[in-house]
Amino acid sequence: MISPSVPGLCLAALAPRGAGSVNAPTARQVVERIQKQVGVPWRETTVDTFKAGDPDAPVKGIAVTMMATLDVLQRAARAGCTLVITHEPVFYGHFDRLDDLQKEGDPVLAAKLDLIHRHGLVVWRFHDHWHLRRPDGILTGMVRALGWERHQSPEDPLLFTLPETTLASLAARIRDRLGIRALRVVGDPNLGVARVGLAPGAPGFSGHRRILRSDAVQVMVMGEGVEWETIPYAADAVTAGMHKALIILGHIPSEQAGMEECARWLKGFLTQVPVKFIPAREPFWTPDAPPAKKERSSK
């Protein structure tokens, strides 16, 4: 059932050094368990494949994350995790194609591959099928993190009717609930809002427009969007006098809790090795909210 790894990546060259416990499951066996438990047919064409490392290496611990940044991989290695399950790409593109970066000898890619090799990490992506699961695993985690369960529409899980408040107050509450440093808002801060559409991640302009155009939506809470598509569309709606607004979380904060939900789910049936959620750090900061002091790196 497991799809092949991405083109251009030599798994053998990234094989882990040393052997683990003979009783530990391999990364491949862990993924096979996930495929059986996720509750949807496994697609032949999917990005949910191994991205680095040896799938037949024994697993000492599992790190679950929203995005396998170099920082996350360092923390996974320090925690003794050898299998990293990431929701988003590892190598800077949806399909994790490495050919051009490798041909150019890209130093950032080299640093990441070196860390993976030295610590014997195996990286597997869990994106398509976690979204295909019903209910959507990312959405489930985000709704729980926001505390919006009882406000969710039974007809459309992306729509919510909240107690009426101002746009500024809603944005501040979301910022505080999710711990976001660099949240952004489009619209009148004093606008009264109650009807909310949620668009985690990056569904694209057509998906954003469908939500924002709905009469059931006054404010769309979104992950990220192209700034010459969704953002000016919403700004133009505001200028036209329409009762519309955006709250822009950033991609990582908009789906992070969904992968924390994934870690909880995995712990229910993967009991041979520890499962740890390692949150990806929000990359943006503002002068009023500088980044926290970074932990010591794992070289």
Query: Kind of pairing, strands 50-52 and 159-166?
Result: unpaired
**Do 76 and 185 share a structural domain?**
no
Residues 6+ apart with CB under 8 A from 153: 159, 160, 161, 216
pLDDT digits (tens, 9 = 90+) for 119-132: 999 999 999 999 99
Residue 225 lies in a domain: yes
Q: What is the pLDDT of residue 132?
A: 98
Average pLDDT over residues 139-166: 98
**Do 152 and 41 share a structural domain?**
no
**Do 168 and 125 share a structural domain?**
no
Q: Tell me which DSSP letter residue 202 carries.
A: -
Q: What is the pLDDT of residue 299?
A: 58
Q: Which residues sit opposite 195 in a β-bridge?
A: 161
Residue 153 lies in a domain: yes
Query: What is the C-alpha to C-alpha distance for residues 84 and 238, in angstroms, rounded to an integer?
Result: 42
Residue 257 lies in a domain: no
Residue 45 lies in a domain: yes
Q: Which two tokens stand for residue 213?
A: 């155009």
pLDDT digits (tens, 9 = 90+) for 181-200: 999 999 999 999 999 999 99
Query: What is the C-alpha to C-alpha distance for residues 167 and 246, in angstroms, rounded to an integer?
Result: 9
Residue 298 lies in a domain: no
pLDDT band at 262 (very low <50, low <70, confident <90, very high): very high
Range of the domain at 158: 138-251
**Do 148 and 56 share a structural domain?**
no
**Do 219 and 189 share a structural domain?**
yes
Give how many domains the chain has, as a whole number: 2
pTM, two decimal places: 0.90
